[in-house]
Amino acid sequence: MARPPKITRLALQQVALALVDRSGLEALSMRAVAAELGTAPMTLYNYVSDREELLLLVVQAVVAEVKLPTGPFEHWCDEVKAIAHASWMAVRAHPYVIPLILTRRSRSPEVMRQAETLLRALAKSGRRGHDLLCAFRSVTSLVMGLAQAELAGPLALRAQESADDTIARFRSLPRDQFPWLIDIAGAALTSSPESEFHAAMDLLLSGLSQPEA
């Protein structure tokens, strides 16, 4: 007498992601997910061999949310930037998952499709082999670094203080020791992650579109 499965792998994935988004990484336990699904903890092991596999499911859920741009684009630079922006946005939408994404991104088939898309755009610059590899590494590292910096900075993992409080704290540093830190803390008041992403990306793209090293 085969019973219909009580849950599905997809439900597992969605519940786990929702749990992390709501309560942070530390809240993501096998037992908590099981409770959320109304089953016994051990039931999950019918769908997932490990806690590690559950984490992978969460990462893949975020990766799947990347909406690759459709184009067409005038210059390959615009395409690279659009792809980078799409990844950045998806990752940023799930700040608590970022540490998981950074360490497990590569073990996902969908991320390989996205990588190939980015590489195709970068290859339009004429790069091949090692140069293409380095261009690829630069773009992906910058995107992930920016996403991470946003999480680690004002937001932090469990900071009590607001972003404005953090900036205020920086600005009240001894002026003779930290003049430039105080300068950018002031600039941060009227800045936004979006504007910083574009500025950083444009700096790199400017280097990428230079003819030679």
Partner DNA sequence: ACCTGAACACCGTTCAAGT
Site residues (vs DNA, CB under 7 A):
1-3, 5-7, 28-32, 39-43, 45-47, 50-52
Q: Does 106 bind a second copy (CB under 8 A)?
A: yes
Whose CA is closest to 31, among 5, 51, 13? 51
Residue 94 or 105 having the CB closest to a second copy: 105
Encoded tokens for 100: 């998981």
Residue 8 or 29 having the CB closest to a second copy: 29
Task: Using DSSP, state whether 181 is helix, strand or coil.
Answer: helix
Least CB distance from residue 143 to a second copy, whole Å?
7
Orientation angle between helical segments 193-208 and 76-92, nearest 10 degrees: 150
Q: How far is CA 147 from CA 20, 45, 90, 119, 123, in A?
A: 17, 32, 10, 20, 25
Q: Which of 45, 148, 163, 171 binds a second copy (CB under 8 A)?
A: 148
Task: Using DSSP, state whether 40 is helix, strand or coil.
Answer: coil
- Give the dihedral sign, CA 33/36/40/43: negative
- Binders of a second copy among residues 81 to 100 (CB under 8 A) are 99
Least CB distance from residue 43 to a second copy, whole Å?
24
Residue numbers of the site for a second copy (CB under 8 A)?
52, 99, 102-107, 112, 115-116, 119-120, 122-123, 128-138, 140-146, 148-149, 151-153, 156-158, 173, 177-181, 183-184, 186-188, 190-191, 195-196, 199-200, 202-208, 210, 213
